[in-house]
Protein backbone atom coordinates (compact mmCIF):
# COMPACT_ATOMS: atom_id res chain seq x y z
CA UNK A 1 0.00 0.00 0.00
CA UNK A 2 2.88 2.32 -0.77
CA UNK A 3 4.11 3.98 2.43
CA UNK A 4 0.86 3.32 4.28
CA UNK A 5 0.82 0.25 6.57
CA UNK A 6 -2.60 -1.23 7.33
CA UNK A 7 -3.62 -4.27 9.39
CA UNK A 8 -4.76 -7.20 7.25
CA UNK A 9 -7.35 -9.74 8.44
CA UNK A 10 -7.63 -13.00 6.50
CA UNK A 11 -10.69 -15.21 6.97
CA UNK A 12 -11.17 -18.64 5.41
CA UNK A 13 -14.67 -19.46 4.19
CA UNK A 14 -15.69 -22.92 3.07
CA UNK A 15 -18.27 -21.50 0.68
CA UNK A 16 -15.93 -18.97 -0.94
CA UNK A 17 -14.84 -19.73 -4.49
CA UNK A 18 -12.59 -16.68 -4.94
CA UNK A 19 -10.71 -14.06 -2.92
CA UNK A 20 -12.75 -11.07 -1.77
CA UNK A 21 -11.02 -7.88 -0.64
CA UNK A 22 -12.71 -5.23 1.49
CA UNK A 23 -11.48 -1.95 2.95
CA UNK A 24 -12.65 -1.57 6.54
CA UNK A 25 -14.71 1.49 7.61
CA UNK A 26 -12.59 4.61 7.74
CA UNK A 27 -9.79 2.97 5.74
CA UNK A 28 -8.38 1.56 8.98
CA UNK A 29 -7.61 -1.91 7.69
CA UNK A 30 -8.11 -4.55 5.03
CA UNK A 31 -10.15 -7.76 5.17
CA UNK A 32 -9.64 -10.75 2.89
CA UNK A 33 -12.07 -13.64 2.57
CA UNK A 34 -10.41 -16.64 0.94
CA UNK A 35 -11.39 -20.22 0.04
CA UNK A 36 -10.31 -22.93 2.47
CA UNK A 37 -6.75 -24.14 2.02
CA UNK A 38 -5.64 -21.37 -0.32
CA UNK A 39 -1.86 -21.14 -0.50
CA UNK A 40 -0.12 -18.12 1.04
CA UNK A 41 1.60 -17.41 -2.27
CA UNK A 42 -1.75 -17.03 -4.04
CA UNK A 43 -2.89 -14.51 -1.46
CA UNK A 44 0.34 -12.52 -1.85
CA UNK A 45 -0.04 -12.58 -5.65
CA UNK A 46 -3.60 -11.30 -5.31
CA UNK A 47 -2.49 -8.39 -3.12
CA UNK A 48 0.35 -7.54 -5.50
CA UNK A 49 -2.07 -7.41 -8.45
CA UNK A 50 -4.41 -5.06 -6.57
CA UNK A 51 -1.80 -2.58 -5.29
CA UNK A 52 -2.88 0.10 -7.76
CA UNK A 53 -6.57 -0.32 -6.96
CA UNK A 54 -5.89 -0.14 -3.23
CA UNK A 55 -3.72 2.96 -3.56
CA UNK A 56 -6.47 4.68 -5.57
CA UNK A 57 -9.21 3.78 -3.08
CA UNK A 58 -7.19 4.61 0.03
CA UNK A 59 -6.28 8.02 -1.37
CA UNK A 60 -9.90 9.07 -0.78
CA UNK A 61 -9.53 8.75 2.97
CA UNK A 62 -8.62 11.90 4.83
CA UNK A 63 -5.33 12.30 6.63
CA UNK A 64 -5.65 11.95 10.41
CA UNK A 65 -3.10 14.76 10.79
CA UNK A 66 -5.77 17.26 9.73
CA UNK A 67 -6.93 17.35 13.37
CA UNK A 68 -4.31 19.89 14.38
CA UNK A 69 -3.82 23.63 14.39
CA UNK A 70 -4.02 24.75 10.77
CA UNK A 71 -5.79 21.60 9.59
CA UNK A 72 -9.33 21.41 8.23
CA UNK A 73 -12.53 19.73 9.36
CA UNK A 74 -15.88 19.61 7.61
CA UNK A 75 -18.96 20.86 9.46
CA UNK A 76 -22.30 20.43 7.64
CA UNK A 77 -20.38 19.90 4.41
CA UNK A 78 -18.28 23.07 4.68
CA UNK A 79 -14.54 22.92 5.35
CA UNK A 80 -13.49 24.83 8.46
CA UNK A 81 -9.90 25.68 9.30
CA UNK A 82 -8.88 24.49 12.77
CA UNK A 83 -7.29 27.12 14.96
CA UNK A 84 -5.95 26.59 18.47
CA UNK A 85 -6.90 29.61 20.53
CA UNK A 86 -3.84 29.41 22.75
CA UNK A 87 -6.05 29.62 25.82
CA UNK A 88 -6.32 26.76 28.31
CA UNK A 89 -9.95 27.62 29.03
CA UNK A 90 -12.79 28.32 26.66
CA UNK A 91 -15.29 26.68 24.34
CA UNK A 92 -14.90 25.27 20.86
CA UNK A 93 -16.69 27.68 18.54
CA UNK A 94 -17.19 28.62 14.90
CA UNK A 95 -15.76 32.00 13.97
CA UNK A 96 -16.38 33.66 10.60
CA UNK A 97 -13.26 35.31 9.20
CA UNK A 98 -12.44 37.03 5.89
CA UNK A 99 -10.58 33.85 4.91
CA UNK A 100 -13.52 31.58 5.66
CA UNK A 101 -15.01 29.78 8.66
CA UNK A 102 -12.73 28.76 11.51
CA UNK A 103 -13.19 26.19 14.28
CA UNK A 104 -11.47 27.83 17.23
CA UNK A 105 -10.47 25.29 19.88
CA UNK A 106 -9.31 26.09 23.41
CA UNK A 107 -7.64 23.81 25.95
CA UNK A 108 -4.43 21.84 25.70
CA UNK A 109 -3.36 21.29 22.10
CA UNK A 110 -2.98 17.58 22.79
CA UNK A 111 -6.69 17.40 23.65
CA UNK A 112 -7.81 19.02 20.39
CA UNK A 113 -9.28 15.84 18.91
CA UNK A 114 -11.43 15.14 21.95
CA UNK A 115 -12.64 18.72 22.12
CA UNK A 116 -13.56 18.69 18.44
CA UNK A 117 -15.43 15.40 18.88
CA UNK A 118 -17.41 16.85 21.80
CA UNK A 119 -18.28 19.89 19.69
CA UNK A 120 -19.42 17.79 16.72
CA UNK A 121 -21.51 15.60 19.00
CA UNK A 122 -23.27 18.66 20.42
CA UNK A 123 -23.89 20.12 16.94
CA UNK A 124 -25.17 16.78 15.63
CA UNK A 125 -27.65 16.46 18.49
CA UNK A 126 -28.90 20.00 17.88
CA UNK A 127 -29.55 19.31 14.18
CA UNK A 128 -30.99 15.83 14.59
CA UNK A 129 -33.39 16.73 17.39
CA UNK A 130 -35.00 19.34 15.15
CA UNK A 131 -35.12 17.10 12.08
CA UNK A 132 -36.39 14.04 13.96
CA UNK A 133 -39.16 16.06 15.61
CA UNK A 134 -40.31 17.34 12.22
CA UNK A 135 -40.32 13.95 10.52
CA UNK A 136 -41.90 12.17 13.50
CA UNK A 137 -44.72 14.73 13.56
CA UNK A 138 -45.32 14.10 9.86
CA UNK A 139 -46.05 10.40 10.47
CA UNK A 140 -47.54 10.94 13.95
CA UNK A 141 -45.16 8.60 15.73
CA UNK A 142 -43.61 9.30 19.16
CA UNK A 143 -39.86 9.32 19.76
CA UNK A 144 -38.83 8.12 23.21
CA UNK A 145 -35.20 9.25 23.09
CA UNK A 146 -32.34 10.32 20.82
CA UNK A 147 -28.73 9.38 21.54
CA UNK A 148 -25.43 10.14 19.85
CA UNK A 149 -22.91 7.34 19.31
CA UNK A 150 -19.70 6.74 17.38
CA UNK A 151 -20.65 3.57 15.51
CA UNK A 152 -18.62 2.27 12.57
CA UNK A 153 -21.04 -0.27 11.12
CA UNK A 154 -24.16 1.88 10.80
CA UNK A 155 -25.16 5.53 10.74
CA UNK A 156 -28.25 5.13 12.86
CA UNK A 157 -30.64 2.72 14.52
CA UNK A 158 -34.23 2.58 15.74
CA UNK A 159 -35.45 0.28 18.50
CA UNK A 160 -38.92 -1.24 18.65
CA UNK A 161 -39.87 1.10 21.53
CA UNK A 162 -38.98 4.33 19.70
CA UNK A 163 -35.40 4.97 20.78
CA UNK A 164 -33.25 6.46 18.02
CA UNK A 165 -29.47 6.49 17.90
CA UNK A 166 -27.21 8.30 15.43
CA UNK A 167 -23.54 8.54 14.64
CA UNK A 168 -22.54 12.11 15.50
CA UNK A 169 -20.03 12.02 12.62
CA UNK A 170 -22.95 12.63 10.23
CA UNK A 171 -22.78 16.34 11.15
CA UNK A 172 -19.66 16.55 8.97
CA UNK A 173 -21.86 15.78 5.94
CA UNK A 174 -23.97 18.33 4.01
CA UNK A 175 -27.38 19.24 5.51
CA UNK A 176 -29.33 17.17 2.96
CA UNK A 177 -27.48 14.05 4.12
CA UNK A 178 -28.19 14.78 7.79
CA UNK A 179 -31.86 15.25 6.94
CA UNK A 180 -31.93 11.94 5.09
CA UNK A 181 -30.48 10.08 8.06
CA UNK A 182 -33.10 11.59 10.38
CA UNK A 183 -35.89 10.65 7.96
CA UNK A 184 -34.49 7.13 7.52
CA UNK A 185 -34.54 6.32 11.22
CA UNK A 186 -37.91 8.01 11.79
CA UNK A 187 -39.37 5.91 8.96
CA UNK A 188 -38.37 2.84 10.97
CA UNK A 189 -40.79 3.94 13.69
CA UNK A 190 -43.51 2.86 11.30
CA UNK A 191 -41.71 0.28 9.13
CA UNK A 192 -39.17 -1.84 11.03
CA UNK A 193 -37.62 -3.23 7.84
CA UNK A 194 -36.12 -2.13 4.54
CA UNK A 195 -38.98 -3.27 2.33
CA UNK A 196 -40.78 -1.32 -0.41
CA UNK A 197 -43.15 0.40 2.06
CA UNK A 198 -40.22 1.60 4.15
CA UNK A 199 -38.43 3.14 1.16
CA UNK A 200 -41.65 4.74 -0.08
CA UNK A 201 -42.12 6.36 3.34
CA UNK A 202 -38.49 7.41 3.45
CA UNK A 203 -38.82 9.15 0.07
CA UNK A 204 -42.03 10.80 1.22
CA UNK A 205 -40.26 12.28 4.24
CA UNK A 206 -37.05 12.99 2.34
CA UNK A 207 -37.39 13.56 -1.44
CA UNK A 208 -33.58 13.54 -1.82
CA UNK A 209 -33.26 10.00 -0.43
CA UNK A 210 -31.54 8.53 -3.49
CA UNK A 211 -29.09 11.41 -3.75
CA UNK A 212 -28.23 11.07 -0.06
CA UNK A 213 -27.78 7.29 -0.24
CA UNK A 214 -25.40 7.70 -3.15
CA UNK A 215 -23.44 10.38 -1.30
CA UNK A 216 -23.06 8.22 1.79
CA UNK A 217 -21.95 5.25 -0.28
CA UNK A 218 -19.27 7.33 -1.97
CA UNK A 219 -18.16 9.48 0.98
CA UNK A 220 -19.35 7.84 4.18
CA UNK A 221 -16.11 6.00 4.94
CA UNK A 222 -14.19 9.28 4.82
CA UNK A 223 -16.24 10.56 7.75
CA UNK A 224 -15.06 7.57 9.77
CA UNK A 225 -11.41 8.03 8.85
CA UNK A 226 -10.55 10.68 11.45
CA UNK A 227 -9.27 9.52 14.82
CA UNK A 228 -10.47 11.99 17.45
CA UNK A 229 -8.78 10.21 20.40
Q: Are 80 and 69 in contact (CB under 8 A)?
A: no
Beta strands in 88-225 (DSSP E): 93-97, 100-105, 145-149, 156-158, 163-167
> Cα–Cα distances in Å, from 111 out to 8, 28, 51, 116, 120?
30, 22, 35, 9, 14
pLDDT, tens digit only, all 229 positions of the chain: 445 567 888 989 988 888 998 877 656 678 889 999 888 888 888 888 887 777 666 665 555 446 788 888 999 999 999 999 888 788 899 999 998 999 999 988 788 889 999 999 999 999 999 999 999 999 999 999 999 999 877 899 999 999 999 999 999 999 999 999 999 999 999 999 999 999 999 999 999 999 999 999 888 888 887 788 7
149 Cβ neighbours under 8 A, 6+ residues apart: 165, 166, 167, 168
Task: Specify the CATH number of the domain 116-224.
Answer: 3.30.2010.10
Distance CA 217, CA 31 (A): 18
Q: Hey, where are the domains in the chain? A: 8-58, 64-109, 116-224
Measured from the Cβ of residue 24, the count of other Cβ atoms closer than 10 Å reads 15
Distance CA 137, CA 52 (A): 49
Amino acid sequence: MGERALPLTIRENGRATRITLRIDPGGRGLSLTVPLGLRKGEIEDFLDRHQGWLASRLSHFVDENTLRDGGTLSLRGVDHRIEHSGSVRGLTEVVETPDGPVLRVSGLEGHMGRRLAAFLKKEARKDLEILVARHAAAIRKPVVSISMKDTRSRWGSCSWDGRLAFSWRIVMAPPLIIDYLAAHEVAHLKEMNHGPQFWALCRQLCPHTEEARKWLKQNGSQLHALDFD
